[in-house]
Amino acid sequence: MVGWCKKSRLKDLLPKVEGKYLPNEMMSKYTWFGVGGPAEVLFCPKDNADLADFMKKKPYNLPIFVIGGGSNVLVRDGGIPGVVIKLDSKEYKKYQLEDGKIICGAGMKNAELKKIMLENNIGGLEFLVSIPGTLGGAVKTNAGCFGKELKDVLLEATVVNGEGEEIKVLADDFNLGYRCSYFPDDWIVTQMVFAAKPQEKETTLKIIEEQKAYRMKTQPHNVKTAGSTFKNPEGLKAWELIKKTGSNAIKVNDAEVSNVHCNFLVNKGNASAQDLEDLGNKIIENVKRETSIVLEWEVKRVGVAK
């Protein structure tokens, strides 16, 4: 554990909250890779009022990072300075239905949409069900698969900004692009409104099961991975470049490339975050050397080295 975590008194400087503070909380418990050092403080707010009050009263220039379901993120071994916010209370897992809309909390897991759609005979969000993580995290990355992206179904979202103001934001104002978004770093998405359509549950279930079967056949499962590692260069496939250049054979200790899909890195058991990041960077270097194409990380790397 790095020195700033051993000696940190950050919790003593933070405002009183109704949720909970967890100092020196190991992030390896919250990431799909199963790696990552401690958050200086992990904050789980009770609700939006609690989150807004924290944002208003927190120390000036306090580093803030929001973590969703822990997929698509690589937390470095030295941990994350400042406060990591996780919207994990029951308030952020609620939903309600309106005409042609589903309103969901940011802490809801994508997979939970399956039950909602089947019980209410609605569809249109099937592609999100098989994407690991939470709905709030899906906004930040404009998650997508099977020819659809979150921007295709998002209507608006509720945000708590850096000043502790709760605001409604239209989908277009998030500037969602391919596996990215362009909105202020201090915007914390707390609730989303999605477009849905009437659909018999048999049809919805058929689509979900077909997509699940495809993923089970073509992507690794029951292993420590974070999803697609690199973005696809325009007009190309990252996995094809990795395989073509022999980069899928590169290993760093227990960090390997999946033998099911070579755009997935895998922690075989005892890999460190540094091992995984080194592996990714070696792949980038090798692909660039062989093709002059530079792969870009899709997995978000955060924190400090040990």
Residue 248 has a CB neighbour count (10 Å cut-off) of 19
Active-site residue, selected from the candidate residues 228, 247, 258, 272: 228
Q: Is 38 exposed, middle or buried (0-12, 13-18, 19+ CB in 10 A)?
A: buried
Q: What is the Cα–Cα distance from 141 to 133, expressed in whole angstroms? A: 11
- Residue 298 annotated to the active site: yes
Quick one: CA torsion of 73, 77, 82, 83, rounded to 10 degrees? 50
Annotated catalytic residue 181: no
Where are the extended beta strands (E) located within 45-173? 64-67, 73-75, 80-86, 95-98, 101-105, 122-123, 144-145, 148-149, 154-160, 166-170
Q: Name residue 256's amino acid.
A: E
Annotated catalytic residue: which of 126, 179, 256, 258?
A: 179
Question: How far apart, in whole angstroms, are the C-alpha atoms of residue 284 and residue 67?
Answer: 26
Rounded distance, CA 174 to CA 152, Å? 13
76 is catalytic: no
Local structure of residue 279 (DSSP, 8 states):
H
- 167, two tokens: 């605001």
Q: Which sequence positions are flagged as catalytic? A: 179, 228, 298
